[in-house]
Each structure stands twice: as structure tokens, then as C-alpha cells.
Structure 1
Amino acid sequence: MDDEFGAAYAGSLARDHVLGALGNRTVVQALADGEPPRAVWEAICVDMDVPPERRLGRDTRVARGAQGGQAGQAGRSSR
């Protein structure tokens, strides 16, 4: 939630925003009641109109072969 909404707003949203899809509970209440985090995240995404392409969060991995990647490192020995 921090990545999508910013830390301050994400905290407020989790505590205060009531989600009908989760039985009129907040994110905090739903998680405390044992709802799966993925289901809670999907409910908040629908309610807040988060586009599908941003629902998996930021990808911070470096592609293999890109600068800083690990391509070609496996199986190499240092001599």
C-alpha cells in the first residue's frame, strides 16, 4: 500500500477506509480477522481504482543481462 498510496495515506486508508467487499471492515480489521492479504489488497485496489498493471507493486528486480544483472555468472569460477 505504501508503494501505491504513499506511507502516510496508506496508513490512514488502512485504518479508516471501510470496504463493502470485506463486510464493511477496514483493511486493519479484515487482516486482524484473518482475511488473506491478497484478497484485502484486491478489494482496496477495486475501491480506489488502482489500474490492474499497478496491482502487483513495483518491480525492482534487474533483468538478466541488463547492467547490474546476473547473466553469465552461474557456473563461472574465479581463477
Structure 2
Amino acid sequence: MEEKLQFVPSLKDAFAIGVKNLVPIVLSVLLWLVTVWIPYVNVGTTIALATLPVKLSKGEMISPMFIFESKYRHCMGEYFIL
């Protein structure tokens, strides 16, 4: 038997995760806005923000400074090809 995805429970879970991590999410976005003027760093931070929902859905706690990790700048070529 197939289990169907329910919209309302999924939305409630997403909202609960977002509220629980509201401060780190807002700080991460603010730090991203600071990097808008530095193209090389901004691409890396943009890639990091794209991975944010995945990290949160796995239950990982995030630090706003995670967007500056070098692993996100190493995959710029693949990001641009995508």
C-alpha cells in the first residue's frame, strides 16, 4: 500500500522547523546580503543557502557562518552548468 504525501501535515512540519531555526535563517540571509558586492564569495554563499532546506529537513542545527565554508565555493562550476 502506498503512503500518500499530505499537504497540511507537511506544511505544519515545515513551519515548525522554520520557527525553531528562525534566528539562524535570518542571520544567514543577512550575511548573504552583505556578500552581494563580492561576486566570488556571493556565489559560494548562494550555493550554501540553496542547501539550507536540505540541512534543516535532516534536523541539523545550522550556524549562520556555515555559508562561508569553502566546500560551497568548490562546486561553482557545477552550479553554473546547472
Q: TM-score, normalised by structure 1?
A: 0.29
Q: TM-score, normalised by structure 2?
A: 0.29
Larger CA Rg, structure 1 vs 2: 1
